[in-house]
Structure 1
């Protein structure tokens, strides 16, 4: 059975303009994919005008609250006392947002209550996933 946690967060887009605009985002954690977190930005807040969803490791988010983490498309690091910086790198460019660390910690606490760290493997149904990949070829 899949259990899902979703939480709206307020992100401040770091831009060249002096005032950083606030954009909505949604964090999502699904027990069927226990190692991953998804962060979705709605269409009106993106340059392309389409919803954008980034998927990254729950561990990356947790580590990035306390120290710089990530060297790929998603990077997370603490910023000051109560903010976390998230960088999203794509061929089209880089988006950098600030999020209140407390919002991220609250989300991670809820996700950890659902699937404790170190127990993610118990949520994975390898037989079902393999059968889906094989498309009934077995």
Structure 2
């Protein structure tokens, strides 16, 4: 079985003053990094941002609000349209504030992506290869 899952979605970036604009979200999962989902946001061939998200947090965000740090998620519904709202807080700006981005993704597409990752590695079966990590750290210190 392929240990990778990749899905490209069209999501909506909330831009202040102009409303929502479509961007691509490239989601990827690698069983060798079992707890993380990488999200790369792009527009017109340019990468806007790249984030590593917690797979369980992404799943939990479909059901209710999660996150207290730089990444926050919550479900949002407008009639029959169900979305996942992702908020990202970035680097500090010169004025002391922080860069802030809000992205809306179609919740069923996120759920579908997560189901594919669960086929590769079911929740609860993730393992951290501590021995290999320690060996790598110790060999670099020599």
Does the residue aligned with 2:89 lie in a helix, a strand or coil? strand
Aligned match of 2:74 in 60, 72, 77? Answer: 77
Structure 2 equivalent of residue 104 of structure 1: 110
- CA shift, 1:52, in A, is 2.4
CA RMSD of aligned residues (A): 2.2
- CA shift, 1:17, in A, is 3.4
1:50 to 1:106, Cα distance in 2 relative to 1, 3 A: closer
Structure 2 equivalent of residue 117 of structure 1: 123
Unaligned stretches of 5+ in structure 2? 94-98
Kept in 1: contact 2:2–2:120 (CA 8 A)? no
Structure 2 equivalent of residue 39 of structure 1: 39
1: CA distance between counterparts of 2:36 and 2:8? 17
TM-score of the two chains, using structure 1 as the length reference: 0.85
Unaligned stretches of 5+ in structure 1? none
Structure 2 equivalent of residue 11 of structure 1: 11
Kept in 1: contact 2:85–2:105 (CA 8 A)? yes
Structure 2 equivalent of residue 87 of structure 1: 87
1:27 to 1:50, Cα distance in 2 relative to 1, 3 A: closer
Does the residue aligned with 1:120 lie in a helix, a strand or coil? coil
